[in-house]
Amino acid sequence: MLPDQQILRIPGPTPIPPRVQRAMSQPMIGHRGDEAKELLEDITPKLKPVFGTEEEVLVLAGSGTAGLETAVVNTVKPGDEVLVIVTGAFGDRFAKICDAYEIRYHRLDVPWGEAVHSEKVAHLLQQHPGISAVFCTYCETSTGVLNPVADIAKAVRQYSNALVIVDGVSAVGGAETKMDEWGVDVVVTGSQKALMLPAGLTFIAASKRAWKAMEENNRSRFYFDLRKYRDNLEKNSTPFTPAVSLLYGLQEVLKLLEEEGLEEVYRRHQLMMKMTRAAFQALDIPLFTADSDASPTVTAVKPADFDPEMLRKAVKEDFGLTLAGGQQHLKGQIFRIGHMGYCSPADVLQTISLLEIGLTKIGKSIELGKGVQAAQEIYVNQEGQK
Amino acid sequence: MLPDQQILRIPGPTPIPPRVQRAMSQPMIGHRGDEAKELLEDITPKLKPVFGTEEEVLVLAGSGTAGLETAVVNTVKPGDEVLVIVTGAFGDRFAKICDAYEIRYHRLDVPWGEAVHSEKVAHLLQQHPGISAVFCTYCETSTGVLNPVADIAKAVRQYSNALVIVDGVSAVGGAETKMDEWGVDVVVTGSQKALMLPAGLTFIAASKRAWKAMEENNRSRFYFDLRKYRDNLEKNSTPFTPAVSLLYGLQEVLKLLEEEGLEEVYRRHQLMMKMTRAAFQALDIPLFTADSDASPTVTAVKPADFDPEMLRKAVKEDFGLTLAGGQQHLKGQIFRIGHMGYCSPADVLQTISLLEIGLTKIGKSIELGKGVQAAQEIYVNQEGQK
């Protein structure tokens, strides 16, 4: 393979656009000076449409998990009873956080690879009227499933006053997110997925209902106390040291999203999903999720007659192409392709062409070019409809 | 298209490897200090194998044309008579430099798209025994032709004492170059082609015979006086201010070439040429050069039934894919694909998949995926033979 060539197609971290890389390499500034204030002042309003909210989006230095924990400790009072929807490894993470805080929770387990049905959520809420919050994952990164967050929020609102708290980590910035319109109360995401940044920032937006619950919550918290971030943001500041270079990168990311237009960003991700899925369908290699449950940001494939680990190894060795494997019980069962953030239909075509070679090299009999052709046809037909 | 995505597939400048980009962003140093000496001391021996020579390779701040002019003014004494082989726009450039210096030259014009035959050179040298230097182009960037430099040098040596002076600008670092073994006297190249750097450096190596001619040459020259560069290099220095950041980049490029191994670098370029050519052959779109004359670094295509400018526009608009058009009388007749330097078989497959979409969009009827398939087959078969 060509030295120094990385073709990174995992569902996060994702490649960094050159403009963002350059923005992050600006000389360091003091985080209590005017430049830092101007930076936050510029970023803050531009984050709102990405979350589909009129509320403030708060930015913390931390990973996505820090954001999930922040959501839990701020919204769940001691003694509360919550519902955790688990469609994969990241739904399970909410449950683990609840365990760590000894929060009583009902667990709605859905077979990995499927999306949750909102009727099941409604049913559980009717059975347990004391539930004060529902935790769910928008894109379940571990399976490539996109849960129907709008439907879930609607069902919750119909049967309960519970807060709807969404892990948007591999979705926000790639999959349409309309927090206010959908009636979602909290959306969390991380920087290293569709937001095209290195890991290190987590983002949380909360509805007025959620803010009320957070105000009334006496649970011990310090770094993750979201009220501090909100109060400081009013003065374009942060309660603790912000990750300044990542904020410079974020400023540039928001410019890129504005330039492309959010609707076009979402359309591009849908297109990349359809191209990827069409390729595997043409090659007769089973996808792990149904079309109706598929995420626009990550596609999981569950081969029937070859070892996904051998394929991953082959394309990594030959081309520096990195794909993700399965997590937990899906290890060795599936492989996952990230197509989000700084990723284009051109990159999807490249990935498929390399996968076809990898398949051939590990002895899987396919017709070379057939997956590429199917993806190209999707592209040509979609573009014709614009 | 995805904002900030550039897919640069012209025959120079070529993409910069991230490691080289990082190397070039090192803080500036004084060019007369120890760091600069150490930099030159590290670079100098590593350049030699790239040129296939035991002689020093001198590095000047300047474009490729500066290197060609340096070759002319140092090797051609006032009153000398020379031969210029013109197989395209860059052969013609040697002639224009000779014009500027009122140097008397014989011009051997070869139809663009074909390589020169060494017999023709031999014939001309027999007719004109006074010729003191033969100028030729190794890879003719404007047509994608690789001239048989080894054969030309052999023919010259057989019939004459003329110096063999080679423009290696889009070849050195991508096409095998064995200056000493082939009996070539001067090789010139630039930084922005197979050497994976921005433009701004030019490189010249000269044989002992060439150095003798240069010593005896009383032509006026100052910045381009190669003797100054040689004498300074003995002290790991330069006569004039060197382009330090490009030298940092060059240091990293030479590491990359060492890591991959020059033989592998040449093999990769051959493979990319074969993949590209197989794709167009499968699509039944005429190549501009015969297989025997084809360069491993650039491929020119001469469509019979579509406008290459429309295709270039289509792929640029949709994907940010930049291809080169034709030069001089070939404008609007051909398009050219660069596949050299920081470019891999994975990049070639991507380029072809995008070209196929572009062809479809401009109304050329092709079977999508067919060119990709042909290129994939070349890759799989070649790799099988390793």
pLDDT in tens, A72-113: 999 999 999 999 999 999 999 999 999 999 999 999 999 999
CA distance A344 to chain B (A): 6
A268 contacts chain B (CB < 8 A): yes
B1 to A372: CB separation less than 8 angstroms, yes or no: no
Are residue B81 and residue B182 in the same domain, yes or no?
A: yes
Mean per-residue pLDDT for A342-367? Answer: 98
The pLDDT-based confidence of A384 (bands split at 50, 70, 90) is: low
A318 to B383: CB separation less than 8 angstroms, yes or no: yes
Mean per-residue pLDDT for A33-54? Answer: 97
Does residue B386 carry a pLDDT above 80?
no
A379 contacts chain B (CB < 8 A): yes
Write down the pLDDT at residue B360.
Answer: 98
Domain assignment of residue A357, yes or no? yes
Mean per-residue pLDDT for A101-127? Answer: 98
Mean per-residue pLDDT for A337-365? Answer: 98
The pLDDT-based confidence of B1 (bands split at 50, 70, 90) is: confident
Query: What Å distances lie between residue B18 and A132, B7, B11, B337, CA to CA?
Result: 49, 15, 19, 22
Are residue A145 and residue A59 in the same domain, yes or no?
A: yes
A373 to B372: CB separation less than 8 angstroms, yes or no: yes
B372 to A372: CB separation less than 8 angstroms, yes or no: yes
Distance CA B336, CA B311 (A): 11
| Cβ-based neighbours of A34, under 8 Å, separated by 6 or more | none
Does residue A117 carry a pLDDT above 80?
yes
Write down the pLDDT at residue A246.
Answer: 97
B264 contacts chain A (CB < 8 A): no
Q: Are strands B131-137 and B321-322 parallel, antiparallel or unpaired?
A: unpaired
Q: Which of residues 43-82 of B touch A (CB under 8 A)?
A: none
Domain end call among A259, A275, A300: A259
A2 to B268: CB separation less than 8 angstroms, yes or no: yes
The pLDDT-based confidence of B384 (bands split at 50, 70, 90) is: low
Mean per-residue pLDDT for A48-75? Answer: 98
Distance CA B252, CA B246 (A): 10
Domains in chain A, number: 2
Domain end call among A232, A259, A286: A259
The pLDDT-based confidence of B145 (bands split at 50, 70, 90) is: very high
Are residue A232 and residue A282 in the same domain, yes or no?
A: no
Chain A environment of B272 (Cβ under 8 Å): none
Find, among A85, A114, A109, the residue nearest to A300 by Cα: A114
Residue A34 has a CB neighbour count (10 Å cut-off) of 11
A354 to B349: CB separation less than 8 angstroms, yes or no: yes
Higher local confidence (pLDDT), A382 or A141: A141
Does residue A133 carry a pLDDT above 80?
yes
Percent of chain A with pLDDT over 90: 98
Distance CA B50, CA B69 (A): 21
Does residue A131 carry a pLDDT above 70?
yes
Domain assignment of residue B52, yes or no? yes
Write down the pLDDT at residue A280.
Answer: 98
Does residue B3 carry a pLDDT above 90?
yes
Q: Which of residues 336-355 of B touch A (CB under 8 A)?
A: 342-347, 349-350, 353-354
Domain assignment of residue A105, yes or no? yes
- Residue-wise pLDDT for A311-347, tens only, equals 999 999 999 999 999 999 999 999 999 999 999 999 9
Are residue A231 and residue A284 in the same domain, yes or no?
A: no
Option in A7, A345, A369 nearest B346 (CB): A7
Are residue B81 and residue B162 in the same domain, yes or no?
A: yes
> Which domain does A360 fall in, by range?
7-13+262-385
- Residue-wise pLDDT for B168-200, tens only, equals 999 999 999 999 999 999 999 999 999 999 999
Mean per-residue pLDDT for B292-318? Answer: 98
B116 φ/ψ angles, rounded to the nearest 5 degrees? -75, 150
Question: Known binder of ligand: residue B221?
Answer: no
B3 contacts chain A (CB < 8 A): yes
At B244, the amino acid letter reads: V
Domain assignment of residue B2, yes or no? no
Chain A environment of B377 (Cβ under 8 Å): 368
Are residue A241 and residue A281 in the same domain, yes or no?
A: no
- In sequence order, what DSSP letters do the residues of A267-334 get, joined into one string? HHHHHHHHHHHHHHHHTT--BSS-GGGB-SSEEEE--SSS-HHHHHHHHHHHH-EE-EE--GGGTTT-
Write down the pLDDT at residue B385.
Answer: 62
CA atoms within 13 A on the CB side of A195: 30
Are residue A29 and residue A178 in the same domain, yes or no?
A: yes
Mean per-residue pLDDT for B5-16? Answer: 97
Percent of chain B with pLDDT over 70: 99
Option in B17, B319, B320 nearest A4 (CB): B17
Option in B19, B349, B357 nearest A4 (CB): B19
Domain assignment of residue B59, yes or no? yes
Write down the pLDDT at residue A383.
Answer: 74
Domain assignment of residue A134, yes or no? yes
Tokens of A120: 């099941």
Are residue B172 and residue B126 in the same domain, yes or no?
A: yes
The pLDDT-based confidence of A1 (bands split at 50, 70, 90) is: confident
Domain assignment of residue B153, yes or no? yes
- Residue-wise pLDDT for B32-47, tens only, equals 999 999 999 999 999 9
Q: What angle do CA B183, B186, B191 make, to 5 degrees?
A: 125
Mean per-residue pLDDT for A261-273? Answer: 98
The pLDDT-based confidence of A386 (bands split at 50, 70, 90) is: low
Mean per-residue pLDDT for A272-301? Answer: 98
Average pLDDT, chain A: 97
Are residue A60 and residue A189 in the same domain, yes or no?
A: yes
Mean per-residue pLDDT for B239-256? Answer: 97
Are residue B238 and residue B306 in the same domain, yes or no?
A: no
B373 contacts chain A (CB < 8 A): yes
CA distance A340 to chain B (A): 11
CA distance B195 to chain A (A): 14
| Residue A348, domain CATH | 3.90.1150.10
Asked if residue A307 lies in contact with residue A313, where contact means CB atoms within 8 angstroms, the answer is no
Domain assignment of residue A24, yes or no? yes
Are residue B254 and residue B287 in the same domain, yes or no?
A: no
Q: Are strands B7-8 and B321-322 parallel, antiparallel or unpaired?
A: parallel
Write down the pLDDT at residue B257.
Answer: 98
Does residue A148 carry a pLDDT above 90?
yes
A1 contacts chain B (CB < 8 A): yes
- In sequence order, what DSSP letters do the residues of A93-115 get, joined into one string? HHHHHHHHTT-EEEEEE--TTSP
- Predicted ipTM? 0.92
Q: Which of residues 269-328 of A touch B (CB under 8 A)?
A: 318-321
A4 contacts chain B (CB < 8 A): yes
Distance CA A355, CA A360 (A): 9
Q: Residue A354's closest chain B neighbor by CA?
A: B346
Domain end call among B219, B236, B259: B259
Distance CA B253, CA B269 (A): 16
Option in A342, A353, A368 nearest B353 (CB): A353
Does residue B273 carry a pLDDT above 80?
yes
Q: Residue A348's closest chain B neighbor by CA?
A: B350
Does residue A385 carry a pLDDT above 80?
no
A370 contacts chain B (CB < 8 A): yes
CA distance A212 to chain B (A): 40
Residue A302 has a CB neighbour count (10 Å cut-off) of 18
| Residue B118, domain CATH | 3.40.640.10
Are residue A229 and residue A314 in the same domain, yes or no?
A: no
Find, among A334, A340, A223, the residue nearest to A270 by Cα: A340
